[in-house]
Amino acid sequence: MLDIKFVRENPDIVKENIKKKFQDEKLELVDKVITLDKKARELKMNGDNLRSERKKISEEIGKLFKDGKKEEAELSKQKVTEINTKLQEMETEEANLNQEIRKIMLVIPNIIDDSVPIGRSDLENVEMERFGEPVVPNYEIPYHADILEKFAGLDKEASGRTSGNGFYFLIGDMARLHSSMLAYARDFMIGKGFTYCIPPFMIRSDVVNGVMSFKEMDAMMYKIEGEDLYLIGTSEHSMIGRFKDQIIKEEDLPITLTSYSPCFRKEVGAHGIEERGVYRVHQFEKQEMIVLCRPEDSMTWYQKMYEFTVEFFRSLDIPVRTLECCSGDLADLKVKSCDVEAWSPRQQKYFEVGSCSTLGDAQARRLAIRTKGEKGTYFVHTLNNTVLATPRALIAFLENNYQSDGSILIPQALRPYMGGMERIVPNK
């Protein structure tokens, strides 16, 4: 959410930013919110004047009674009553205006960074860099569900009975591999100096509204019926919400955290839920990284964070590339974002396995997360990035480590988490 003062003083910049995001339907909101803001500020000023007048009259009433001027005192008391009535009406109107202003401000997009490429959709995202050689072996790489089934590692028929489409059972070595990747991701980030956390897996609506847009919430979040609780779509939501209404000491910045959680998503949209495989599902697990920092440090942390993810995947012998998200592909709260994509030797193309974003002070402003230092109190910047989201990352691992004899090679980095195993052999 932008600062209303910034919108008031820079309407052309805000409108140009809306155009860059191809959201022209929101242009009229800029003028509307400025008009509402002017009315609200006028009401506040008039209200302050009335409060000052009321205070002055109230002070005079006691003196009038003391001097025996009862009639004049009663008239003054009547004026105070009239002022109170008028103030109550004005305060109600001001509160309604401020509520409408906030509602509009929540849908005006954040100002994107100058370096963000302009484009309408993810089709116009720009490749930044490739890491590792994208190899296509001279033997067939099966579909990931078939690989899992070779190891008796996937049961979607049973999950259909227990939970419906979009869920899965992972079994045996494949379940162990899945958990080992998460454990390795945890320790990898601890090794980078991040503090490990396990957050709540449900959050209240005020936190949801603080960390994401309404459009995203409707498409992603599962609501707990009869309660003000939502299942998290990513641990970022709980982790940022942890600092709601807090003032952080400036010397404690940056705060660098890595969190594990299951994630729950409706996956509403054109993509649909995958019938056989586990690429797009309602439930998955993720290791995330979150940073709260000073504004001047956010771009440095942004680069560090996606580089950590690249390093992690390369340690598992998975070639990856980074993709700069264009303006039309950015969620409204984001200043800048890039995807990390893993190589699929079966499809001979890259697919998304993680996303790194800096949101400026948008989330902090919504949730009142501030820091205090020599220059006063100000909003922190928040960033988030995927270390590992599996089973999607498991797919990349299986395809890139699949051998001609049907076995799965275990890279050196993962062997301690797999009991020293060097490879997994299919069930007879």
Query: pLDDT confidence of 269, banded at 50, 70, 90?
Result: low
Could you tell me if 280 and 271 are in contact, meaning their C-beta atoms sit under 8 angstroms apart?
A: yes
Measure Cα distances from 10 to 23, 103, 109, 225 in Å: 18, 19, 14, 42
Could you tell me if 414 and 316 are in contact, meaning their C-beta atoms sit under 8 angstroms apart?
A: yes
Question: pLDDT tens digits for 371-384?
Answer: 998 889 999 999 99
How many angstroms from the chain centroid is the CA of residue 111?
16
- Domains of the chain are 4-105 (1.10.287.40), 122-424 (3.30.930.10)
Question: pLDDT tens digits for 387-414?
Answer: 999 999 999 999 999 999 999 999 999 9
Note the pLDDT of residue 428.
Answer: 57
**Residue 327 pLDDT > 90, yes or no?**
yes
**Residue 43 pLDDT > 70, yes or no?**
yes
Region 248-257: what's the mean pLDDT?
97
pLDDT more than 70, % of the chain: 98
Region 176-205: what's the mean pLDDT?
97
**Residue 57 pLDDT > 90, yes or no?**
no
Query: pLDDT confidence of 66, banded at 50, 70, 90?
Result: confident
Note the pLDDT of residue 68.
Answer: 80
Q: In this structure, what is the dihedral angle of CA atoms 67, 69, 72, 74, given to the nearest 10 degrees?
A: 100
**Residue 94 pLDDT > 70, yes or no?**
yes
Question: pLDDT tens digits for 227-250?
Answer: 999 999 999 999 999 999 999 999
In DSSP terms, which residues pair with 352 in a beta bridge? Answer: 341
Region 198-209: what's the mean pLDDT?
95
